[in-house]
Structure 1
Amino acid sequence: MAAIWRQGFPIPAKRLAAALLPAVLLAGCLGEQSALLPPQRPSDGELAPRIGSAIQRASDSEHQRLLSAFGGEYRAPQVRAVLDDIVARLAKAGEGQIGTYEITILNSPIVNAFALPTGRLYVTRGLLALANDTSEIASVMAHEIAHVTAHHAVERAEAEAESAVVSQVVSQVLNDPVAGAAVQAGSKLSLARFSRQQELAADQISVRNISRAGYDPYGAGRFLAALGRNTSFRNAAQGQSGNDKKLDILSSHPSTPERVAAVTSAARQIGAPGIGEREASRWLSAIDGIAYGDDPSDGVVRGKRYLNSALRISFAAPDGFDLESARDMVIGVSSNNAQALRFDSVTLKPGQTLESYVASGWIDGVTTGPVETLEVGGQPAVLASGKGTDWTFRLAAIQAGSRVYRFILAARGAADPERPMRAVLDSFRTLTAAEAQATRPLQLRLVAADGDNLASLAGRMAVQDRPVELFLLLNGLERGSKLTPGQRYKIVTE
């Protein structure tokens, strides 16, 4: 994947791609451990609800594309066992046709869940980490099932299949998520959404359904509130206001406060708080040890250093930069937003040299200067300067066999970013096989409070970005909350 450059400034492509990925048969709804189990089909041999063969074939194709776009399936047998039990109970208690649903956990830190008209349900491991009991995760699955049983997904699929514009969007987004996101941002995203009325209806159905299945109906409100806090946390990390949702998974939904109020009202019509099953211990035990954050094979950030175990490379950010990784790329922005860094890799054409590649017009609209030949990390490399309308660039390319690692460092105005670029190149190195193997995902772990307070437990987190705020978010706590001695809490560890 690559970053999207808008007016010379890089936008995190991963978030845009995640926001725009929903396609003809797909709509995102929210936001170490088993192979996808084959469906247990009812007697008529069909997944629920009954659907046309054309949609079934498209769903099969969409399933594979989803796996590719979201890092494949994440194997988590303990989590899958709980989810299977929850969905089985929801299906029996559901409104409309009772059927069988296939669950896939996606290996992505993005917080989201999806439904296909065929009854295929998808949830990212990023979303799993936010839930704190079975009623909360049951509300997510019930919401997706509601879209299926109420035929929302089929209606959306049929409407979008008739639109030539959306067909183009689907092709661009699924074949090249970044390019599709760059071109189609804005009005075309709305074509891939469920309607506001459908979302609110699915919320209402989910509250009734989890209650009939024996779960706490107030779990829906708690989890929606957690999604809202997650949005604010992520936006604040990007220098956006907590209400800026243009890149957020909830941007396609009614506002979080509106949804929380609606599901809370629906729960009150069922009974007072305290009814229904929550089973916090069971859920927390299931997610204990799941991966948290980016997969090292896609590239991860550890402090100021970027590591990619698949490419077996590492480099450090310039002073004052914050990095964010995505698949095979990384972007960074200086604290004053005056400079931006992008890294990715390409393959040279047969007979093409590094010098000719950099001079051939790497970035549209940027005129490059003389090319300097040098060695970086024991590999041949070149460095060049460039000038655009509003930005001054330093471009570097490092060759490792047929692969070329590319760095772009842009500075607003006429300031030459040569010094920070050379610092990046000086930090670049190849990881040994042992180092690459040792680069593992962060994990979500449970620890019991034993004389701890918020600060001390948050201090054990293996993250540098606002650990106290992240600890509160993961555990559904408010600032100033008192920890309960002996109770288990989620932390992120190496």
Structure 2
Amino acid sequence: MIRQAVMNGWFPRRHGAVRARALVALAATTLIAGCQSVIEQTYEPTVSPSSNPQIVEEVQKNDPRAQLGAREHPRIVASYGGEYRDAKTERLVARITGALTAVSENPQQSYRITILNSPAINAFALPGGYLYVTRGLLALANDASEVAAVLSHEMAHVTANHGIQRQQREEAEVIASRVVSEVLSSDLAGKQALARGKLRLAAFSRNQELQADVIGVRMLGEAGYDPYAAARFLDSMATYSRFSAVDPEADQSLDFLSSHPNAPQRVDLARRHARAFGPEGTSGDRGRDYYLAGIDGILYGDSPQEGYVRGQTFLHGQLGIRFDVPTGFQIDNKAEAVLATGAGEVAIRFDGIADTSRRSLTDYIASGWVTGLKPDTIRPITVNGLEAATARASADRWDFDVTVIRFGERIYRFLTAVPKGSSALEPTANQLRTSFRRMTSGEVQSLKPLRVRVVTVRSGDTIATLAARMMGTDRKLDLFRLINAMQITSTVRPGDKVKIISE
């Protein structure tokens, strides 16, 4: 339900094939190959917001389906780690939204803006004026006009009633799918009909995104912001996607059934519409100084409730545990689990469950939650003084190592997946399990969250010396350039303000 309602209109998703295949194996999820056809779609630039915007009160009174926003709001907040509370940052976002609302073609539209306590780079809208932006996005942006570009795009979704239209279209496709499966006797004919329905839905969604882009750029310019900020931040997003990918050479473009046009197309369209306000660099305010002041000190990366990633190490002070992944692996700290992926299609999943039964760990492994378990491989072990057990499993073209460790009132679980027959299984799983241990009291006390710190460049500072002050990453120079939107040829001058990541 949430995936259907949320409009991730701004952000290209990563499609690194290695990462996807390995993590899907861990989740025991079936992949269905999509249709590879290409259809032509027309682009109509003369669009405008709906003349009948649905604000929260009207939604609840007139259209039961449009109560989706109010109903889904608590779930959205919970799934993104709650709301991020910081008065200074909240005032900053409210200031930007107020400027955009004043130039909206539907100024009576009301909005509820929530900063989500998530390091993810995202923003989206729900029907009824619910807007969401993550603290991760605020940390990546470099001025007010870039955040205004994101918010104006999402406000356009609301004023154009895209949420309601999208839900109605998806409901129609569900009904059509049922008819196809029940009426058509030919499997081939049925698959072709379903594929055509998906293509129509994908084209519809992409047109919504392009409409929101056009409306958003117009709002940017009329609010006095730099109208080229949309194109600029889309470029930053593409750079972030490449930086975050496990396989930098993997295809970063969107697949055809994605609901969004690819980034190069959108950058080109955004620049084309921005030219209506004048050449780049000649119109609009970026609002850099007050923006940087508003995000100075904002939490960066993981929160204490989620635990922290420091290079190749995961640490959770509240739970008192830590472990290391092999060199070259990338850790992705999700709300439901810690995931890590490395070369050779190797993937790791780590999570924990409440230990209510206190049964033996060998019995726990054999209790039916592991698909393809090989019972004769189950054995008890000890990990740094803690009770543990391991086993092997095999399913489809994957081999798995399962390791469970009891600590306190929880059972912690490592699941390592490799392609069938790979020699990487034992060394990877062994490094994980042997690195798992209790944190010392000193380690817990010294563990602090990372934050964005805005610093002023001094005489003698260079990009290299500033990047050396970055914490929480082995790729200090790359991350410094990324969060400051700097190119290889960029330089700094005394008096410039830049962002670094530190405690």
Against the structure 1 CA distance between its residues 81 and 159, is the aligned structure 2 distance closer, same or farther, given a 3 Å change threshold?
same
Aligned partner of residue 252 in structure 1, secondary structure = coil
Distance between the aligned counterparts of 1:349 and 1:167, measured in 2?
43
Count of aligned pairs between the two proteins: 438
Aligned to 1:453: 462
Aligned to 1:467: 476
Matches within 5 A, 1:414-425: 415=423, 417-425=425-433
Quick check: 1:116 aligned with 2:126? yes
1:330 pairs, out of 331, 338, 346, with: 338
Quick check: 1:408 aligned with 2:415? yes
2:373 pairs, out of 356, 366, 371, with: 366
Aligned to 2:435: 427
Aligned to 2:491: 482
Quick check: 1:69 aligned with 2:79? yes
Letter in 2 for 1:409: T
Quick check: 1:444 aligned with 2:452? yes
How far is 1:145 from its partner?
A: 0.9
Quick check: 1:262 aligned with 2:262? no
Quick check: 1:277 aligned with 2:285? yes
Against the structure 1 CA distance between its residues 464 and 356, is the aligned structure 2 distance closer, same or farther, given a 3 Å change threshold?
same
Distance between the aligned counterparts of 2:158 and 2:426, measured in 1?
55
Aligned to 1:26: 6
Matches within 5 A, 1:370-385: 370-385=377-392
Distance between the aligned counterparts of 2:310 and 2:157, measured in 1?
39
Distance between the aligned counterparts of 1:357 and 1:200, measured in 2?
51
Distance between the aligned counterparts of 2:434 and 2:106, measured in 1?
62
Quick check: 1:95 aligned with 2:76? no
Query: Over aligned residue pairs, what C-alpha RMSD do you find?
Result: 3.1
Letter in 2 for 1:224: L
- Residues 49 and 99, structure 1, Cα contact 8 Å, conserved in 2: no
- Residues 309 and 472, structure 2, Cα contact 8 Å, conserved in 1: no
Distance between the aligned counterparts of 2:277 and 2:56, measured in 1?
27
Aligned to 1:343: 350
Quick check: 1:315 aligned with 2:295? no
- Residues 26 and 192, structure 1, Cα contact 8 Å, conserved in 2: no
Gaps of 5+ in 2: 12-53, 179-196
Letter in 1 for 2:340: G
Against the structure 1 CA distance between its residues 385 and 452, is the aligned structure 2 distance closer, same or farther, given a 3 Å change threshold?
same
Aligned partner of residue 305 in structure 2, secondary structure = helix
- Residues 49 and 148, structure 1, Cα contact 8 Å, conserved in 2: no
Distance between the aligned counterparts of 1:189 and 1:345, measured in 2?
40
- Residues 318 and 421, structure 1, Cα contact 8 Å, conserved in 2: no
Distance between the aligned counterparts of 1:242 and 1:455, measured in 2?
30
The percentage of aligned residue pairs carrying the same residue is 39
2:308 pairs, out of 300, 311, 317, with: 300
2:154 pairs, out of 124, 144, 161, with: 144
2:165 pairs, out of 142, 155, 172, with: 155
Aligned partner of residue 364 in structure 1, secondary structure = coil
How far is 1:238 from its partner?
A: 3.8
Quick check: 1:209 aligned with 2:209? no
Higher mean C-alpha deviation, range 275-284 or range 357-366: 357-366
Against the structure 1 CA distance between its residues 75 and 192, is the aligned structure 2 distance closer, same or farther, given a 3 Å change threshold?
farther
Higher mean C-alpha deviation, range 295-304 or range 416-425: 416-425
Letter in 1 for 2:87: P
- Residues 49 and 149, structure 1, Cα contact 8 Å, conserved in 2: no
Distance between the aligned counterparts of 2:150 and 2:424, measured in 1?
49
Distance between the aligned counterparts of 2:200 and 2:89, measured in 1?
32
Aligned to 1:493: 502
Higher mean C-alpha deviation, range 376-385 or range 97-106: 376-385
Letter in 1 for 2:387: P
Aligned partner of residue 277 in structure 1, secondary structure = coil
TM-score (norm: length of structure 1): 0.80
Aligned partner of residue 484 in structure 1, secondary structure = coil
Following superposition, which runs of at least 4 residues in structure 1 exceed 6 angstroms of deviation?
165-168, 187-190
Higher mean C-alpha deviation, range 475-484 or range 303-312: 303-312
Higher mean C-alpha deviation, range 386-395 or range 127-136: 386-395
Distance between the aligned counterparts of 1:127 and 1:94, measured in 2?
23
